Amino acid sequence: MAHERLAEIAAAIQAGHTSLGIEFGSTRIKACLIGPDFAPIAVGSHSWENQFVDRVWTYSLDSVWEGVQASVAELLLNVKSEFGVDLTRVGALGVSAMMHGYLAFDAEDNLLVPFRTWRNTTTERAARELTGALGFNFPLRWSASHLYQAVLDDEPHVPHLAFITTLAGYVHWRLTERKVIGVGDASGIFPVDPVTRDYDTAMLEGFGALVTARQPGLDVASLLPEVLVAGADAGHLTSAGAALLDPTGTLQPGSPVCPPEGDAGTGMVATNAIAPRTGNISAGTSIFAMIVLEKPLASAHDELDIVTTPAGDLVAMVHCNNGASELGTWAALFTEFAAAMGLTGGGDAVFETLFRASLAGEADGGGLLAYNYLSGEPITGLAEGRPLVVRTPGSRLTLANFMRTQIYAAFGTLSVGMKVLANEGVHLDSMFAHGGMFRTEGVAQRLLAAAIGTPVTVGDTASEGGAWGIAVLADYTRRGGETPLVKFLNANVFASAALTVAHPDPEDVAGYTTFLDHYVAGLAIERAAVDALH
């Protein structure tokens, strides 16, 4: 980095013209510091894993603070090493985290039960009853489903409830003493009215009636955090909050903090997919699409979550539990084989070789069929999963066909959900894709365009992911948050972004359509495998 650029960034750091974003992902906590031009200055990260304790997927609150302190410490060290100055203050900061789940506290702010994450699926009865009673799809992951299931089960902690929130809401509360939530994260707690940008009043009254019928005196509305849109004043970093982030005392209190958001919302910001008729697809352990709607859908659908952007506009979310993990498993197998043959290059080279091979495959995958179901998949009605590769005697088993089929399989369940949107008359102008699948240029991007029938854009704008996205939202708050968020992003953040676009290839589209027909019909095989293999 040129000396002039280093000096410029060091001056911005010392002047407090930076913004800090912290995101709690499922396997990594990441801190990202950006400068006035929104480019990342420094990052820090910490790996963590959920625990399955007493049949509940959870993270301890101690691990939350251990992880964020490790991430911030690494970031502070990187700033000092790279720019020769201490990061004593930031212009603004923000927190993002996995959406949904259940963090419940009493009137003395004591945690009543261990944190229940989005992975827990013990809320089936609650979700079903809420969906039926309120006419709106309540997924198993949503905080309202967790709360109502606790009421249905007469859990001992329910009478002591005073406050529930998400992971991002919890961390923000501890940093600022404000019990607030960004509207995007709020929409994974309870349905949001796109007009008021707040919890839907009529549905909240209906929910309250259901709860008080079983738990008299429990006021559901009073339990929920206050909803704020992007750019709003969500408090300032307190002295206690600064000590939680940085026990050394280097980072000082006083910085404004933007509304806490969910990972879906920060992903939308990181991909500039918050305007109507745009969307983004994130492919990792899970794969999900976020499509910004022009108007509410005509009816509720089990395959779709209805959430919002950080600005409060309605978004249809197609969430699939199974994403690229099975592709990674096959890549690891081929890497092991290459090593046994004495070949060098490592996993990245093998991954790229396999992906490039898929482009030589037949458009329909040569008659092969695959399922990437390591876990259950609600969209296709499966409580458990069994990864499968199936073929007929007449199919063509080649490396190219095998890999094309594996990539198709990663998009199969997503396509099922997207068809529901198409039948609702939802149209897309563009879809931004990000995640490790898209690192090999022009492969998964091209095949995804065929799978969804929409141009797919990739670029380097999301290289730091949601941590960068929440840092951008923090900077939006720092600058007043008065310009509409869509305009702010287009004019300030993405004006010079380097992007590539893949348009659907007609031959690929026809081949994928054939594959998907077989995929849907073959779900009976997947169900049989679940029944047979325990």
Give SS3 for 370: strand
Q: What single letter denotes the amino acid at residue 213? A: A
Closest CA to 505 of 457, 469, 454: 454
Confidence grade of residue 302 (pLDDT, cut at 50, 70, 90): confident
Looking at the predicted structure, is the pLDDT value of residue 233 above 90?
Answer: yes
The average pLDDT across 142-156 equals: 98
Q: What single letter denotes the amino acid at residue 358? A: S
Looking at the predicted structure, is the pLDDT value of residue 428 above 60?
Answer: yes
Highest mean pLDDT among 424-438, 452-466, 509-523: 509-523
Rounded percentage of the chain residues whose pLDDT exceeds 70: 99
The pLDDT of residue 461 is 58
Looking at the predicted structure, is the pLDDT value of residue 525 above 90?
Answer: yes
The per-residue pLDDT for range 27-56, each reduced to its tens digit, is: 899 999 999 999 999 999 999 999 999 989
Closest CA to 264 of 223, 318, 337, 196: 318
CB atoms near residue 285 (< 10 Å): 16
Stretch among 183-187, 214-218, 349-353, 391-395 having the lowest mean pLDDT:
349-353
The pLDDT of residue 315 is 95
Confidence grade of residue 248 (pLDDT, cut at 50, 70, 90): very high
Confidence grade of residue 283 (pLDDT, cut at 50, 70, 90): confident
The per-residue pLDDT for range 440-449, each reduced to its tens digit, is: 999 999 999 9
- The 8-class DSSP code of residue 490 comes to I
Looking at the predicted structure, is the pLDDT value of residue 462 above 80?
Answer: no
189 vs 141: CA distance, rounded Å: 9
Confidence grade of residue 343 (pLDDT, cut at 50, 70, 90): confident
Tokens at 96, concatenated: 């993002």
Looking at the predicted structure, is the pLDDT value of residue 286 above 70?
Answer: yes
The average pLDDT across 499-521 equals: 96
Stretch among 273-282, 462-471, 472-481 having the lowest mean pLDDT:
462-471
Q: What single letter denotes the amino acid at residue 444? A: A
Confidence grade of residue 1 (pLDDT, cut at 50, 70, 90): low
For tokens 């699948």, the residue is 437
Calculate the average pLDDT of the chain: 94
- The 8-class DSSP code of residue 383 comes to S
Q: Are 118 and 101 in contact (CB under 8 A)?
A: yes
The pLDDT of residue 434 is 82
Looking at the predicted structure, is the pLDDT value of residue 367 above 90?
Answer: yes
The pLDDT of residue 498 is 82
Closest CA to 268 of 226, 214, 219, 310: 310
102 vs 193: CA distance, rounded Å: 21
Domains and CATH numbers, the chain: 100-165+190-223 (3.30.420.40), 263-323+417-501 (3.30.420.40)
The pLDDT of residue 5 is 86
Instruction: Show contacts of 10-18: CB within 8 Å, 24+ apart.
Output: 10/83, 10/84, 10/85, 12/36, 12/41, 13/41, 13/79, 13/83, 13/85, 13/87, 14/85, 16/89, 16/90, 16/91, 16/255, 17/91, 18/87, 18/90, 18/91
Looking at the predicted structure, is the pLDDT value of residue 20 above 90?
Answer: yes
Tokens at 267, concatenated: 């992903």
The average pLDDT across 510-520 equals: 98
The average pLDDT across 406-427 equals: 93
Confidence grade of residue 463 (pLDDT, cut at 50, 70, 90): low
- The 8-class DSSP code of residue 264 comes to H
Quote the pTM value: 0.87
- The 8-class DSSP code of residue 93 comes to E
Confidence grade of residue 521 (pLDDT, cut at 50, 70, 90): very high
Q: What single letter denotes the amino acid at residue 145? A: S
